Amino acid sequence: MSNNTNNEELKPWQWDEPKWRGLLNQVRAGRSLKPASWPGNAPCAVAFSFDSDHETGELRDGGQSIGRMSWGQYGNRVGVPRIERTLDKFDAKASFYVPAVAALTYPDEQKRLADAGHEIGLHGWIHELNSILPYEAERDLLLRASDTLTSITGVRPVGMRTPSWDFSPHTLRIAVEMGLEYDSSLMADDDCYELLLDGKPTDVVELPVEWIRDDAVYFNMHRFQSLRPYTAPADVFDIFKRELDAAIEEGGIFQLTMHPHMISARSRIWILEELLRYARERKTWIATHADIVRYAKTHAV
């Protein structure tokens, strides 16, 4: 292949090796940070999380549907309080990832959660598609979001979950510049791992997510799109419980992502309650994402 060929004009199968390796190496999984054991000899760590998007998903798309914004408001009026009561019942702490606009809309919710010992993490400004933004815009939104959450809760966020569950070529660089301790948006492992930027360790830890462990995959609904709930709550519980059982068997992490306006429905909230009950029965360590990341980082084998 000629050295003068412009890779940008070629199809992927025509790329030279430096081109495709460069894309692969933008962000890569480094060494595993799986510890030999968990606090109190717990069989695994359990990380419950809630993406408190509320109305921002619709606002990001232009805010044309008042109906969908009302569904988001349900997350604040009914969802989060119902989740709080369920977590309190089992003395469990969780992580809530909140877009800044949602935090500004419901500051009392964030203060209440933070005061109760739950983690409030970054989730963008208005649930924007960060993965398509230029560096300056993505950085500005994340910095403003961090300042907003800090001013509301009195605690500066140490971790983020990107709104698009994806990185732009700049996301990890911005996280490093901000001094964030961890991210929870990528999927290269079941357990914590270090993130590499252009092949070099960043000191940012990844606590990975997975679409299988996300209630939106099973319960999301959009009247004018093809999104329709298709999995019964009992079947969703079975999937989540099998993931938890496997984490216990492997001595790893069970990480679960939920959305207040979805999981809190009367026919679904029992999923969270039963998972919490089962996790307590099995004597797992239930903790915030930040606490799990810090423990994994300092106790990695």
pLDDT tens digits, one per residue of 246-283 = 999 999 999 999 999 999 999 999 999 999 999 999 99
Amino acid at 51: D
pLDDT at position 1 = 44
- The reply to whether 228 falls in a domain is yes
Sign of CA dihedral 128, 131, 134, 140: positive
- The reply to whether 225 falls in a domain is yes
Number of domains in the chain: 1
Question: Percent of the chain having pLDDT more than 90?
Answer: 93
pLDDT reading at 235 higher than 50: yes
- The reply to whether 14 falls in a domain is no
- Here the CATH number for the domain that contains residue 233 is 3.20.20.370
CA of 168: how far to CAs of 118, 136, 146, in Å? Answer: 28, 12, 18
- The reply to whether 214 falls in a domain is yes
Query: Which domain, by its residues, includes 118?
Result: 32-299
pLDDT digits (tens, 9 = 90+) for 169-190: 999 999 999 999 999 999 999 9
pLDDT at position 8 = 66
Amino acid at 292: I
pLDDT averaged over the chain? 96
CA of 99: how far to CAs of 25, 43, 59, 61, 251, in Å? Answer: 29, 33, 11, 14, 32
- The reply to whether 246 falls in a domain is yes
pLDDT at position 5 = 53
| DSSP letters spanning 113-150 | HHHTT-EEEE--SSS--GGGS-HHHHHHHHHHHHHHHH
pLDDT digits (tens, 9 = 90+) for 131-170: 999 999 999 999 999 999 999 999 999 999 999 999 999 9
Mean pLDDT of 55-75: 95
For the question of whether the overall pTM of this predicted structure is more than 0.85, the answer is: yes
- The reply to whether 18 falls in a domain is no
Question: Percent of the chain having pLDDT more than 70?
Answer: 97
pLDDT at position 7 = 56
Q: Where does the pLDDT of residue 2 fall: very low under 50, low under 70, confident under 90, or very high at 90 and above?
A: very low
- The reply to whether 266 falls in a domain is yes
